[in-house]
Amino acid sequence: MKTLIARYGIEWMMARAERVFFVHGMRRAGNHACVGWLTNALEGDAVTLIESPLIKNFNYSSSGKTFFINDVSTLDNRSYLKHLHRDLKPVRQARFIIISAEDVDATYGDSWRIPGRNETILVRRSTLNLVASRFQNLNRRAREGLGARMQSMGPKFFATLRANLASSRGSTWDFEHWHDDESWRRRFLADLRLQHDLLPPMVGLGSSFTNSRALPTADLLRKRFMVVEPRDAWVCFIRKVASEFPDVFSAEELALIHTIDA
C-alpha cells in the first residue's frame, strides 16, 4: 500500500511536465555529459544546472524549465519524497524532468520513483574505458585518503553491465560516438524530436585522469585504458576481469587488453 501511494504521489508531482526522461548507465560512463547535452537540446540554449543548496541530488536550470534529479538511486525513500514535497513548486513548474540513476539496469525505471510515462535513455561507454575510468578514480581517491565504494567493480557491477548491454529498452546514448560524431548526435536528437546540438562546456564531475571538467580530444578519450596507474595492478586487474567476464567486452577490446604492458 505504501508503495502504491508513493507511486501516485510521484506521478501527481511530475504530471505537469511536458516530458520526463529516465537516464541510466554505469557510473563513469558519461551520464552527466548526456544530461547536460539533453538539457541544452530541450531548452534550445546553453543551460546551467544549479545544484540545490539543501540536497545535492536536485538541480534546476537557470530558466526553471528543467528539473534534474541526479542519481536518484543514492537517495533513501524517505529523503526522496521529503525533498520532492519541499520543492513541489519548482517541480510542478518545470517543463522537463530528467531523473538519472547510476549502476542500475533498465528495470529500475519500473520502480515507483520514476513516472511511468518516462522516455528511457541508456548511457553506454566502451567497457574497457569504463573500467579504466573507475579503476583510475578508485586509486586517485585512495591517494587522497578518500573511500570510493561506488566505484567498485565486483560481480554485481558486471552483472548490471551485462544486463545493460543486453537491454533494448528506449534509446542508447554512446559516449564515444556522441563525443566524436556530429551526424550521430543529430540522428540521436531527431529520434527524440529534438534539434539543438549544443555541447555542454563543462562535463560531469571531472575526468578520473586529469581532474579536468573539459572534454578531452577524441584520441585521448579512446585510449584512456593505456594510461591507467598504478600499472602492474591495472594490468593484473583488467586481464583478470577479461577472463572472468569476457562477454561484457567486444572482441576488439579483448584483443587490446593483451597489448597493455606492465
- Helix (H) / strand (E) element for 171: namely strand 171-174
User: In this predicted model, which residue has the larger pLDDT, 262 or 184?
Assistant: 184
Q: What is the pLDDT of residues 166-201, one digit of tens each?
A: 998 999 999 999 998 999 999 999 999 999 999 987
- Residue 220: the pLDDT is 60
Write the pLDDT tens digit of every residue in 55-73. 899 999 999 999 999 999 9
DSSP state letter for 261:
-
- What is the pLDDT, as a whole number, of residue 25? 97
The reported pLDDT for the residue numbered 217 is 61
Half-sphere exposure for 31 (CA within 13 Å, toward CB):
24
Q: Report the pLDDT value the prediction gives residue 186, as an integer from 0 to 100.
A: 98
pLDDT at residue 38 in the model: 98
Which pLDDT does position 204 carry in this prediction?
47
The confidence score (pLDDT) of residue 262 equals 63
Q: What are phi and psi of 12, to 5 degrees?
A: -70, -45
Q: Is 98 helix (H, G, I), strand (E, B) or coil?
A: strand
| CA 147 vs CA 10, 104, 134, 160, 210: distances in Å | 33, 21, 13, 22, 19
CB 16 within 8 A of CB 64: no
d(CA 146, CA 132) in angstroms, rounded, equals: 19
Architecture of domain 2-257: 3-Layer(aba) Sandwich (3.40)
Q: What is the pLDDT of residue 80?
A: 96
The count of other CB atoms within 10 Å of the CB of residue 171 is: 14
Is the pLDDT assigned to residue 213 strictly greater than 80?
A: no
91, amino acid identity: V
Residue 147 has pLDDT above 70, yes or no: no
Strand partners, 121: 23, 171
Give the C-alpha distances (Å, rounded to integers) separating 108 from 13, 25, 85, 103, 115: 19, 11, 22, 10, 11
Residue 53 pLDDT greater than 90, yes or no = no
Alpha carbon distance 51, 111 (integer Å):
25
Give 142's pLDDT tier (boundaries 50, 70, 90): low
Say if residues 36 and 200 touch (Cβ distance below 8 Å). Answer: yes
pLDDT computed for residue 205 by the predictor: 44
Q: Report the distance separating Cα 11 and Cα 8, nearest Å.
A: 5
HSE-CB of 240 using CA atoms within 13 angstroms: 9
What average pLDDT does this structure show over 113-131? 97
Is residue 84 within 8 A of residue 115, CB to CB? The reply is no
Which of 45-54, 83-92, 133-142 is predicted least confidently?
133-142
| pLDDT averaged over every residue in the chain | 90
What nine digits make up the cell of 106?
A: 533498465
Q: For residues 69 and 57, give the distance between their C-alpha atoms in angstroms, rounded to a whole number.
A: 5
